[in-house]
Amino acid sequence: MTESTRSELQLNGVEIVDTFAEAFPIKAARLIITADTLRWATTAATVLCGNATSVIACDVEAAIERMVSEEETPDGRPGVAVLVFGFGTESLGKALQARVGQCVLTCPTTACFNGISSCPKEKQIRIGGAIRYFGDGYQVAKKFDDRRFWRIPTMDGEFVCEDFFGTLTGVAGGNLLFCGTNATETLAAAEAAVDSIRKLTDVALPFPGGIVRSGSKVGSRYKGLKASTNEAYCPTLRGLTTTSLPQHCHAVYEIVIDGLSFEAVQSAMKHGLHAATTCPGILQITAGNYGGKLGKHHFHLKDLL
Q: Is 21 helix (H, G, I), strand (E, B) or coil?
A: strand
Query: CA–CA separation, 104 vs 50, rounded Å?
Result: 12
Question: Of all helices (H) and strands (E), which one includes residue 154?
Answer: strand 147-154
Q: What's the pLDDT score for residue 19?
A: 96
CB 178 within 8 A of CB 167: no
Residues counted in the chain: 305
Number of other CB atoms surrounding residue 168 within 10 Å: 15
CB 49 within 8 A of CB 39: no
Sorted by sequence, the CB contacts under 8 Å of residue 207 that are 6+ apart come out as 53, 54, 255, 256
Q: What's the pLDDT score for residue 292?
A: 82
Q: What's the pLDDT score for residue 294?
A: 81
- Identify the CA nearest to 30 among candidates 109, 140, 124: 124
Enter the DSSP assignment of 301.
G
pTM of the shown model: 0.94
Q: What percentage of residues in the chain have a pLDDT greater than 90?
A: 92
CB 299 within 8 A of CB 20: yes
Query: CA–CA separation, 268 vs 261, rounded Å?
Result: 11
What's at 77, amino acid-wise? R
Q: What's the pLDDT score for residue 6?
A: 53
Question: Of all helices (H) and strands (E), which one includes residue 270?
Answer: helix 262-276
Query: CA–CA separation, 12 vs 5, rounded Å?
Result: 19
Q: Is 146 helix (H, G, I), strand (E, B) or coil?
A: coil
Domains and their CATH numbers in the chain: 10-19+170-304 (3.30.70.520), 27-166 (3.30.70.520)
Question: Of all helices (H) and strands (E), which one includes residue 24?
Answer: strand 20-34
Task: Report, as ranges of residue numbers, the positions in the chain whose pLDDT lies below 50.
Answer: 1-5
> Beta strands 227-229 and 216-218: pairing type?
antiparallel
Sorted by sequence, the CB contacts under 8 Å of residue 40 that are 6+ apart come out as 107, 108, 109, 110
- Identify the CA nearest to 96 among candidates 74, 124, 68: 124
- Identify the CA nearest to 254 among candidates 179, 183, 170, 198: 179
